[in-house]
Structures are given as structure tokens and as C-alpha cells.
Structure 1
Amino acid sequence: MIRATYHVETPCPIAEVAAMMAGEQSAGTFVRVEGETDELRQRFGAVVIETAELGQSQTPSLRSAWAERKGLTGPRGVYRVVIDYPEDNVGVNLPTLASVVAGNLYDLGEVTGLKLVDVALRPEYRVRYEMPAQGIAGTRASVGVQGRPIFGTIIKPNIGLSPDEIAGLVDRLCEAGADFIKDDEIAGTHLHAPVDARIRAVMDRVRRHRDRTGRLVMVAFNITDETDNMRRHADLIEAEGGSCAMVSLNWCGLSAVQTLRRHTGLAIHGHRNGYGGMGRHPLLGMGVRAYQALYRLAGIDHMHVHGMGGKFSDLDEDVTAAARHCLEPMADQDDRVMPIFSSGQWAGTLPHTLAQIGSDDLMFLCGGGIMAHPQGPAAGLASLRQAHEATRLGVPLAEHARSEPELAAALARFGAQG
């Protein structure tokens, strides 16, 4: 069975609404139709597992013309609803799976709020979908980092630089000690910096750095595009010796990401920009566990989870839940993905992040925290390693900074903002 969990707001009896949800998304319509036998319903019908009240709402979270026509203006219950859908209703078809667990449910007149909060699969069924090509272990092996988080940054300015200027910046970041460097999500195929030209120019510098030092810095080139172009760009990254491609998941979609996964062994760096549009409202859209489960089935290796104490709206518990889900296996074999922390991060936000997650298996990206360090990017990266060492030793950052000038400068520069 494919188990989906929802939060539902409705003025109607929840047992009736849950049964309607199960029927709408499986072998049932609002009336019995010819050929809809008991045997067919038994095999292909969804089953309501649980309905539990979570609270009450005096006003509807969302308007429903149907409810207004019925004069349903009283208090609304908020419930957790758990439904099991037969795997045979889907086969192995990721967009169909998504349409089964979500689909028309958001449009039902009986609900004035609905959010898909989790999707859980049997391990035996999960492995029929795409697995990460590199995941956590492969990413660590590629960048040669063990025993600590992977530290990296974002190309800034994020737009406007020529391929040669970008390559020069990447070269300086490689020399500074970055493990990982990524494009911004708005970096595309620009007239001033086409993707192919960026890949060639940057990888020339990355290979030279590898030849000098033995370290291959992982660069996530943003290849977000229509599917054929993404495959072509992935081929070029591989031909140039690269190891990672970044994709804006929401704007490419499940099928395109799945197709890219089948085409390439590159690490797919999943950027979730736009997720706030489906995740921020408590009774609309999709929760982070459900969202991440679907894209993990497409075979991504990395997943952005935002950051703690950063510039975005996420509560610490939201970020923690997203990261911990990345680190939970969905199958009997290791299909974990690397959580990516970013947005306003610096050495001062690292200890709390590590304490919340309880693992070093994460990528910690700092734009200003590295690039705007008063002593330069190399010192910014050093401050991160020093913050990790302080955390490992159980020493407060301010105390550890007495013997670490790079960390001390970071605390002085960013502390008031953190």
C-alpha cells in the first residue's frame, strides 16, 4: 500500500469526507457506476486508516463555493486523515503516484483546507523507483571529505558575470578551500553566459586545481531547462570531468528529473525554490515530508532544506524535519540524500544546526558567510571548519575564537546579524 497522510479542514462529518477522498482518488466516484463491482472496489479501492481530530477552526482557511451554497457556516474541524492506496493503482509511475495521493483532493467542495503531509511506501515498492546515483556516501567520496560537513558557497554575483569571470571566481574559491560551489537558481542560459560556455570555462579551472592538489571540487551547474537540453548539458558536464548538476525541481517537474536521473550518473542537486508556495500554509499544499518523498523517488542526491537562523521564513523545527527526512532511509538499502543548508548561514549558525540534526552528513553553504568574511573567502571557510571543531569539542564559539582569528573575525562581522 501507498500510505498518504493529510491535514483536512471541513465543516462536514469527517468520516464521510475521508471516505469521499478515498473514493475520489481510487475506484470510486460520487455515485456508483456500471461495472463498479464489489470485487473491483475490494482490489482497487483506497482504505481510510485513521481520522483523528486535531482542533477546530471558526472561519474557513479557504473559501468553498460548494460549502457556501450549502450554508455551512459553522465551526470547522481540523483532522488528520490517513489513507492507504493500492500499489496496483499506480504500477511504477511517479506522476501517477503523485496524482493519486494529491490530484483533485485540493478541489473538493467539502474541504476548506487540505494539506498532504506525508507519503510512505513499503521498502520493496520504493526500490522500484529511481535511487540516488551518489547520495551521501558518493558525494563524500567525490569531494574527499569525511568526518565533517561539506562546506561550500554560491557564485555571487549570481548573474551578470561572463563565463571567464565565473571561472576566475571558481578558481579563487577552489584555492580558498571550498569543497562545493554552486550556481544560483536564477542562473540559466543567458546571452552573456550560456550554460555550455560556463561549464567549459569553469571545469577548465577545476581540472587544473585537481591536477595541482589532487582535490576535485564539486561544482553544481544549474542546468534547469527543458528535458533534452538538460540531458545535453549533463553530458557536457561529464565530458568535462564534472560531478554534479543542479535542477530547480518545481519548475522541471517529477518526470523531467526522473528522466535526467536515468540519463546520467552525475549527482543531482535538487533545489526546491518555489516550495514556499505549496508549503507555507498549514492547510494548503504539501508538507515537506511528502514533497521530499516524491522527489527522492525521482532519484535526486541532494535536497535543499533552507537554514536555521537565516533569511527565510522557515521555523527551526521545519528545517530540522526536512533534514532528518533526508537522512531517513526509505528503502532497506541506503537511499538517503544529502540535506543542503543555505540562506543566511555562517559559522555562528553551524553549532545549532549540528545540534538539531545530530549528524555531520550535511552540506553547509554560505554566500556572504564566506564571500563577505572580512579576511576573505579562505578565512570564511576556515571559520566554518573552526566552528565545527568547537562543536565537536563542546566548546563555545567565543571561547574557541580566542585562538582562531578567522572565527573571531566572523563572530565580529556577522554576530550582530545572527
Structure 2
Amino acid sequence: MTRITATYDIETPVGLDHAAAVMAGEQSTGTFIRLASETDALRQRSGARVESVVETGTASHPALPSRKTGATYHRGRVTISWPIGNFGTSLPTLLSTIAGNLFELAELSAIRLEDVDLPADFAHAHPGPQFGATGTRALMGGHEGPLIGTIIKPSIGLSPAETADLVQQLVVAGIDFIKDDELQANGPDCPFDARLTAVMRVIEDHAQKTGKKVLYAANITDEIDTMWRNLDRMAELGATCAMVCVQSIGLSGLRAVRDRSPALIHGHRAGWGLYSRSPDIGIGFGVMQKLWRLAGVDHLHVNGLANKFTESDGTVAAAARAVRQPVSAHGGPACRAMPVFSSGQTVWQVGASRALLGSDDFIFCAGGGIMAHPGGPGDGVRSLRDAAEAARAGIALEDHARPGSPLAQAMATFGKPRIDLDT
């Protein structure tokens, strides 16, 4: 029978083998006591199975508060599998199984879900990205190179008219992609419909004059029926990219958007640090990005190299590569998404971002890296495009930048960060 496999990093005072058995029972046929109806045949058919247990260390104190205690806390990697018959290909039920009550077990003083191996059934059963990188370029009229993008800033406080004024400056500057901030959705001070109408008027006017239609990711995050109305309004106005905060709307909300959307789905992972920041409890990005891709995201935020947050460059690189890998190692549609780099990005990170992917299939979002350029937003965009050209040609920025050029000014303005992909 086809099985789903999940791997955990755990710590326990009761022994790794016993803790693993408790985990398998809790998340399948077992409870705190053996039931008469839990027959051997039922366990054989529906029970989770411990596939491997590997000890990685010990400690004298628990990593997290723990009701059960002991003299020694054993750390290890545990792999558990479930028959697909328990939940079929339902993403919400899968998540409830591999990341449910396990986090509350008294036998565990640490638990982090590190990976999930999905059979091809999942890739076949879910829609996956509707457009991906290739479709994104097609919607933009065949755009070449990485998408140079930015975020509406200030995140909150601008009126629809003020937002449109900023967008006007950005489209004139030559930007490829503009997104709402995750904090700006449909508040009374900047309602979605009024903002979308004002922004798309600017974008369509610019497209009529220049032939270039800038991609605008409008934040539709809301209740499902409201998101559907937002999608309908986007279609009326010619908007082709809907942004959603994937953690906020959940897997079912994301699937509801994908099933209704004629537009690109730009997935923002706002709140991700809650699940990923601690080494002792949480979920690895490699797990959730597979589920988000299956549910339909075309673009997915992966943080940025030398970013302003806590993730290391190695973690960011792994995330960016992960969203380009097949969602199942066992066949079926690949469901590849387009990685989005953001967070403190400047001309210095463009080349390294391209190098780690080996292609231009990414969105590079710079806020201050564009807005704070001494020559203004136009030179900010030009400097990033020059940096992308240098990366494609394999030329160092120092050798590519002409004296006094927008790229040279950006290099002088923004300090060169240390990028360490081994961390």
C-alpha cells in the first residue's frame, strides 16, 4: 500500500524508541490505552509505522518545558509512515496527521517536523501552480531576466490615490513587479476596490503608452467569499496577480483561490518565523512549501540572502531551490513555483541569488534598494537591472559598473554584505 513518510527531530526523556512508538500510535490508531476495537488487523491496515530511529545526542536539561522529566534527554531523528488510506490526498487532513497533536505529547521535550515524502498521488490529485515562471513571463509579454520588483511602502497609511501616485513613479522608473505589503489588504483607510481601481488605471495607462504592463500583486487576503469577489474585480480591471498570505488563509483557503483564480497567485509566508525559527519546535519550510505548491501558488517568498531577518543564507538558498524541485520524488506533475527574494535586498544580492538557482526564474523585490537610491527610484531600478546583466554575463559588479552610473552609485550607497551559503 502507498505510504506517506515524515521525518522529525525530537528530544525525549523516555527513550527514543518508546517516544517514536507513542508518536505513531497517537497519530493513527492508538490512544492512551489499548482498545478492544483496535485489533491487530486494524493496526496492520491503518496504523502508523516507525521506519527508523537515529540518536543524534543527549542533554541533561529539556529543550522545552516538559511535564515528563528524566536524568537524560535523548535527541534523534525519527521517521514515521502512514498508509494513504487513512486520509487519501486531503492536504488539511495530511497536515493534521503529520503536524497535529504530536507537538503536545508529554513524552517529547522537543519536536520539529523536518521533511515529508509524498507519493505521486498528491501531485496528480491537486492543481498545483497554474502559471509558474513560464506563465508569469507570458502574462508579461515575454519578459526576459529576473523580475525586478518592489513593495508598496509605507506598508500602511497611504490612501488609494497616494498608492497610485507611488505606483506611477515606479512604472515610470521601469519596474517589472509591484506588490502590496502583507499588512495592506482591505482596511477602511485604503479599501481594496478603491486601491485596485486607482493602481490599475496607472498600470493600464502606462501599458498603452509603452507596451509594458507592470505586474501588480494585489493583496486579496480575506474571507473566502471576499477573496472570490476580489478576484472577479481584478478580472474586470485587467489585474493578473493576486497576492495571498498563505499562513493566514490556510490550505483550504488557498485551494479555494486557486480553483477560482484566472490570475497568478503570489504566496506570501507572513508569520512563517512562528513555525521555523526555533530548532526545538516547529515545521521546516521544505514541508509546507510542498503543500502550498500543491494547493496552487505560482510565486512563493523564500526570504533573501543577507536578509534583515534571522534565517541564514544557507537556509534561504535551500528554500529557493526547494520550490523549484518536483513536489514528489515519485513522479507526477512537478508543481514548480517561482521563488521570491525579499528583505533588505540590494544590487549586491542579485548575482548570488541567480547563481544559487542557475537561472533568471525568480522575482527580486527590493524596497530600500530602489527607493533609497541617491538618484531616485528610476536609478534604483536601473542599478538592479545592470546587476542582473552582470550576473548573466558572469562579471563582478566592480568590473561591470561604469563610474558614476546608477550601479556604481548603488554599490557606494549600500554596503556590500557578507553572503555565506554554507551557513
TM range (shorter): over 0.9
Query: Which of 245, 249, 252 is 1:252 aligned to?
Result: 249
How far apart, CA to CA, are the structure 1 residues paired with 2:327 and 2:143?
23
Specify whether residues 88 and 283 from structure 1 end up closer, same or farther in structure 2 by C-alpha distance, changes over 3 A only.
same
Alignment match, 1:160: 157
Secondary structure of residue in 1 paired with 2:262? coil
Alignment match, 1:280: 277
Query: Which of 43, 68, 77 is 1:41 aligned to?
Result: 43
How far apart, CA to CA, are the structure 1 residues paired with 2:362 and 2:5?
28
Question: What is the CA deviation profile of residues 274-299 of structure 1, one whole-angstrom value per residue up to 9, with x for unaligned ones?
Answer: 11011000110111111212222221
Alignment match, 1:87: 84
Task: Report the CA distance between 1:415 and its aligned residue.
Answer: 2.1
Specify whether residues 360 and 55 from structure 1 end up closer, same or farther in structure 2 by C-alpha distance, changes over 3 A only.
farther
Task: Report the CA distance between 1:144 and its aligned residue.
Answer: 3.6
2:374 pairs with 1:374: yes
How far apart, CA to CA, are the structure 2 residues paired with 1:50 and 1:413?
52
Alignment match, 1:139: 136
Range with greater deviation from structure 2 (372-381 or 95-104): 372-381
Task: Report the CA distance between 1:29 and its aligned residue.
Answer: 2.1
Alignment match, 1:111: 108
Alignment match, 1:398: 398
Report the identity percentage: 46
2:408 pairs with 1:411: no
Please tell me the residue identity of whatever aligns with 2:37. G
Secondary structure of residue in 2 paired with 1:307? coil
Alignment of 1:10-409 (within 5 A): 10-65=12-67, 67-68=68-69, 72=70, 74-144=71-141, 146-331=143-328, 332-402=332-402, 405-409=405-409
Question: What is the CA deviation profile of residues 337-382 of structure 1, one whole-angstrom value per residue up to 9, with x for unaligned ones?
Answer: 0111000001111122222333321110000111111112121111
Range with greater deviation from structure 2 (395-404 or 313-322): 395-404
TM-score normalised according to structure 2 size: 0.94
Instruction: For structure 1, list consecutive stretches of 5 or more residues without a partner in the other structure.
Output: none
How far apart, CA to CA, are the structure 2 residues paired with 1:54 and 1:188?
45
Task: Report the CA distance between 1:145 and its aligned residue.
Answer: 5.1
Please tell me the residue identity of whatever aligns with 2:340. I
How far apart, CA to CA, are the structure 1 residues paired with 2:272 and 2:314?
16
Task: Report the CA distance between 1:323 and its aligned residue.
Answer: 0.7
Task: Report the CA distance between 1:417 and its aligned residue.
Answer: 6.9
Task: Report the CA distance between 1:236 and its aligned residue.
Answer: 0.7
Task: Report the CA distance between 1:325 and its aligned residue.
Answer: 0.8
Task: Report the CA distance between 1:124 and its aligned residue.
Answer: 2.9
Q: Report the count of equivalent residues.
A: 413
How far apart, CA to CA, are the structure 2 residues paired with 1:416 and 1:149?
21
Specify whether residues 404 and 47 from structure 1 end up closer, same or farther in structure 2 by C-alpha distance, changes over 3 A only.
farther
Native 8 Å contact 1:386 1:404 kept in 2: no
Secondary structure of residue in 2 paired with 1:2? strand
Specify whether residues 231 and 39 from structure 1 end up closer, same or farther in structure 2 by C-alpha distance, changes over 3 A only.
same
Native 8 Å contact 2:28 2:48 kept in 1: yes
Native 8 Å contact 2:123 2:334 kept in 1: no
How far apart, CA to CA, are the structure 1 residues paired with 2:354 and 2:403?
22
How far apart, CA to CA, are the structure 2 residues paired with 1:47 and 1:404?
64
Please tell me the residue identity of whatever aligns with 1:369. G
Please tell me the residue identity of whatever aligns with 1:18. A
Task: Give the CA RMSD over aligned residues.
Answer: 1.6
Question: What is the CA deviation profile of residues 110-134 of structure 1, one whole-angstrom value per residue up to 9, with x for unaligned ones?
Answer: 1000001112211233220231111
Question: What is the CA deviation profile of residues 294-317 of structure 1, one whole-angstrom value per residue up to 9, with x for unaligned ones?
Answer: 222221111111111121111001
Instruction: For structure 2, list consecutive stretches of 5 or more residues without a partner in the other structure.
Output: 419-423
How far apart, CA to CA, are the structure 2 residues paired with 1:307 and 1:207?
30
How far apart, CA to CA, are the structure 1 residues paired with 2:290 and 2:55?
25
Question: What is the CA deviation profile of residues 74-103 of structure 1, one whole-angstrom value per residue up to 9, with x for unaligned ones?
Answer: 221211111111111112322111001111
